[in-house]
Chains A and B, each alone.
Chain A
Amino acid sequence: MADKFDVIVIGAGPGGYVAAIRAAQMGLKVACVEKWIGKEGKVVHGGTCLNVGCIPSKALLEASHKFVEAQHDFADLGIETGDVSMDVKKMMARKDKIVKNLTGGISGLFKANGVTAIEGTGKVISSKQVEVTDQDGKATTYDADNIVVAAGSVPVEIPPTPLKEGMVVDSTGALEFQETPKRLGVIGAGIIGLELGSVWSRLGSEVTVLEAMDDFLPMVDGAIAKETQKLLKKQGLDIRLGARVTGSEIKGEEVVVKYSDAKGEQEATFDKLIVCVGRKPYTKGVIADGVGIETDERGFIHVDDQCRTSVPSVYAIGDCVRGPMLAHKASEEGIMVADIIAGHKAEMNYDAIPNVVYTFPEVAWVGLTEQEAKAKGIEVKTGSFPFAASGRAMANNATEGQAKIIADAETDRVLGVHIVGQHAGEMIAQGVIALEFGSSAEDLALTCYAHPTMSEAVHEAALAVEGHAIHMANRKKK
C-alpha cells in the first residue's frame, strides 16, 4: 500500500509547484508528480515556464538586446566598442545554467516545505486516486483526499508545416539553435513569435513573421499595438499580416513556405522555420475514462471560478483550464486552490491579470483596452504620455513608446493601463494595484512619483485623463 496524501498535484509547472508549496505551508501532506525529463536525463521541476518558456526566452532576449545595444547604441553614448561579436553557444550555455539553477531551486523548495516529489506520469484514475507510471513503466497507485491537475500545455502543430528537428521547430527548438540562422521564418505574430523573432533578428537573422490575422496584436490596446508594430518593423522584423500558410517543403537545407495573402499565392524560403501559432492544453491521458471530469472540445478541463472540476475532490489549474495561458495566472490559481483545500475561502481576480511582451521596448497591459471598453458600451476617458517627453527615458536612451490610461468617464475608475516602453513589464505592476484597489485616475494623479523615473509617464498619463498633464501640451477637449 502506497502512501496516502491530503493533496496530490499532477504537474510541477508554475501552477502545480506553487499549489504544492502553498498546500504544504497550510499543513497538508502533499505530493507533486512530474514526468519532465531535463537535459541531464533526470526529472526536473518548473514545467514549461522554467524549462522551455518564460525563463529561457528572457535569458536570450536580455543577452540579444545587450548585443544590439553594444553594436548600435553604445556609440550614441560615447562608448567605443570596436567590433562586437556574439558567441551563440556561450549565450545558450548561460541560459541552460539559469534554467538548471531555477529548476533545482524548486526541488529544494519542495524539500524545505516537505512536499514529496514523485517522478513519473500521473493519471487521475478515480476521484481520490492517482496512478503514477515511472520511466521503467512501473505503475504505482496513490490515494489522495484532493487532486490538483496542473498538466499544462504544449505547442500547437499545424498540418502545412510538420516539424523537422533542427529545421522546422516549435518554440522549444527555437531556444536551442546553436548558430544564428541566416533567413528565419516565424509563423504566428503572437507574443511567443515576436519574442523569438526578436532574439534571432538581433543576432543577425533576416526574420519574416507570417501572421494569418489581419490585425496586429488584437488583444492589445489599438494605439499601443500600432506603435509596437511600427517599432518592431523599424528593428527589422518583416511582419506580414493576413498571410495564411498553406504548405511547406523541405529542399535540402532550405524550407520553402507557401502562403496566401491579399495579393494571392506567395512563397518564401528560409533556413529555419519556427511554428508558434498557439498552445493547447495537455490533458490527453491525464484523466482516465469514467472519472467523470468534463473536458471541452479543445481539451480544456471544465472548471468553475474556483477551479473545481465536475468531481468535487479534483481541481484543475493553469494552462489546462480556461483563461489566459500565463505563468502568474497558473500560480495564483494554485494558491487559491491550495487555500480552498485547506478550508479557507479564496478567490482570484481574473480582471487584473497583467500581460507582458518582452520585446524591446516591452509591451505590458492590464484591464480593458479602449476597444474592449467601447464594445462593452462603457463611456471612457483616456490619457496618454509619450516617453519622448520623459527625462529619465532620455537619460536611458529609450524614448520610444507611451503609457496610456483608460478610465470610466462617469466614476473615473481606472479600467485599463497600457504601456509600451523600456521596463513596461515592471511598470505595469502599478496598474495591477490600481485595478485591485478600485483606484480612480485621479488617485494616481494625486500620488507622488519619484523623479526621474520611467513610472512618471504613468503619473502624467493619469493627469492627462483630465487634460492636466504637466510635461506635455494637453489635447484640447472636444
Chain B
Amino acid sequence: DKILAPAARKLVAEHDLDVNAIEGTGKGGRILKEDVQRAVKEGSAKK
C-alpha cells in the first residue's frame, strides 16, 4: 500500500517494476520519481 507520486506511478508502469522492492524517500515514505529512477538504474525492482 505504498503511496507513489504521479510521475513515479508512470515510471513504475513503464518499466513494469515491483513497487514493494522500491524504497520511498519522500514525505511519509512516498515513492518519488527519483526513487524509481534509481531502481531502474540499479535494476533493483524487477518483477
Q: Answer yes or no: do A and B interact.
A: yes
Chain A residues whose CB sits within 8 angstroms of the CB of B33 once the complex forms: 411-413, 440, 442-443
Chain A residues whose CB sits within 8 angstroms of the CB of B6 once the complex forms: 442-443, 446-447
A438 interface hit (Cβ, 8 Å): yes
Within 8 A of B (CB), among A432-466: 436-440, 442-443, 445-447
Chain B residues whose CB sits within 8 angstroms of the CB of A436 once the complex forms: 27
Total residues of chain B contacting the partner, CB 8 A: 13
Do B26 and A437 touch (CB < 8 A)?
A: yes
Over the window 404-443 of chain A, the binary record of Cβ atoms lying under 8 Å from chain B Cβ atoms (1 yes, 0 no) is 0000000111000000000000000000000011111011
Over the window 6-42 of chain B, the binary record of Cβ atoms lying under 8 Å from chain A Cβ atoms (1 yes, 0 no) is 1110100000000000000111001011100100000
Tell me the bound Cα distance from A411 to B36 in angstroms: 10
Do B27 and A440 touch (CB < 8 A)?
A: no
Tell me the bound Cα distance from A413 to B25 in angstroms: 12
Tell me the bound Cα distance from A446 to B37 in angstroms: 17
What's the least CB distance linking B42 to chain A, in Å?
Answer: 14
Contact check: which of B10, B27, B34, B37 meets A437 at CB < 8 Å?
Answer: B27
Tell me the bound Cα distance from A440 to B26 in angstroms: 11
Total residues of chain A contacting the partner, CB 8 A: 13
What's the least CB distance linking B29 to chain A, in Å?
Answer: 11
A411-B5 contact given A437-B26, A437-B27, CB 8 Å threshold:
no
Closest to B38 in A: A411
Chain A residues whose CB sits within 8 angstroms of the CB of B25 once the complex forms: 438
Do B27 and A443 touch (CB < 8 A)?
A: no
Chain B residues whose CB sits within 8 angstroms of the CB of A442 once the complex forms: 6-7, 10, 33
Chain B residues whose CB sits within 8 angstroms of the CB of A446 once the complex forms: 6-7, 10
What's the least CB distance linking A167 to chain B, in Å?
Answer: 52
Closest to B36 in A: A440
Apart from A411-B34, A412-B34, A442-B10, what 4 extra A-B contacts exist at CB < 8 Å?
A: A412-B7, A440-B32, A443-B5, A443-B33
- Which residue numbers of A lie inside 8 Å of B, CB to CB? 411-413, 436-440, 442-443, 445-447
The 8 closest A-B pairs by CB, nearest first: A442-B7, A446-B6, A411-B34, A440-B33, A438-B26, A443-B7, A443-B6, A440-B7
30 contacts between A and B (CB under 8 A): A411-B33, A411-B34, A411-B37, A412-B34, A413-B32, A413-B33, A413-B34, A436-B27, A437-B5, A437-B27, A437-B30, A438-B5, A438-B25, A438-B26, A438-B30, A438-B34, A440-B7, A440-B32, A440-B34, A442-B6, A442-B7, A442-B33, A443-B5, A443-B6, A443-B7, A443-B33, A445-B7, A446-B6, A446-B10, A447-B6
- Which residue numbers of B lie inside 8 Å of A, CB to CB? 5-8, 10, 25-27, 30, 32-34, 37
